[in-house]
Amino acid sequence: MRRSLTLSLMCLSVLVVPFSAWGAERRGGTEADYAAIDAIEVRWQAAYGARDFEALSDLYTEDGWVMARRRPAMRGREEIADFFASVAEDTKLAVTFEVEELEVIGRYAWNVAQFALTYQSMSGGEPIHDFGRALILYKKGDDGQWRIHRDMDTPTPDAADMTPPIPQ
C-alpha cells in the first residue's frame, strides 16, 4: 500500500509551482501563452491544497489523461478528480518542480521537468521521498483557454540530487 501510494502520488508532482519561478527555456509562444500556463499551475496548487478535486479536474481538458506510473491511465475529468482525491486522502504532500523546457506550437504546449516529491501520512511517521521527471501536454481549447491535456511522470535517477521538500 505504501509503495502504491508513493507511485500514485508522483503524477501530483508535476503541477505545483508556477513556471515563472523556474526560469525554464521557453520557445514558440507569446507572453500571454506563458502567463496562461503559469496561471494553470497556480490554480492547480490552490485547488489541490484546498482539496477541491473538482476544481482541479476542471484544469484538464474534458478528454484529459493522467498517467501515473504503474497505474491504469485516468481518462476524463471525473476519473482524474477521483484519482487525486484517493491518493491525497490523509496525506501531506510537498513538491519541488524544476521545468527544463516549455514549448508552444500552435494550440499545443508541453513542458519537461524534474521533480522531488515528499509525502507523509497525516497521522505521522517517516516522510517518503521520490524523484523523477514529468511531461505535461497542454491544449488551447476553442474557448481560447489553455488546459492540461496529458499528464505523465516517470522515475529518473538524475533527479535524485534535488533537495527533497518538507511537507507542512
Banded model confidence at residue 118, pLDDT cuts 50, 70, 90 = confident
pLDDT digits (tens, 9 = 90+) for 75-103: 999 999 999 888 878 888 777 777 789 99
Distance CA 87, CA 108 (A): 28
46 pLDDT higher than 80? no
Rounded Cα distance, 119 and 131, in Å: 12
2-159 under CATH 3.10.450.50, yes or no: yes
Range in 79-93, 99-113, 133-147 with the lowest mean pLDDT: 79-93
Domain boundary assignment for the chain: 2-159
Contact 96, 162 (CB under 8 A): yes
Give the pLDDT of residue 71: 87
* H or E stretch at 130: strand 124-140
Specify the pTM. 0.78
Contact in structure between 44 and 95 (CB atoms under 8 Å): no
- Taking the C-alpha atoms of residue 117 and residue 8, their distance in angstroms, rounded to an integer, is 11
- Pick the more confident residue, 144 or 2: 144
Q: Which residue has the cell 500571454?
A: 32
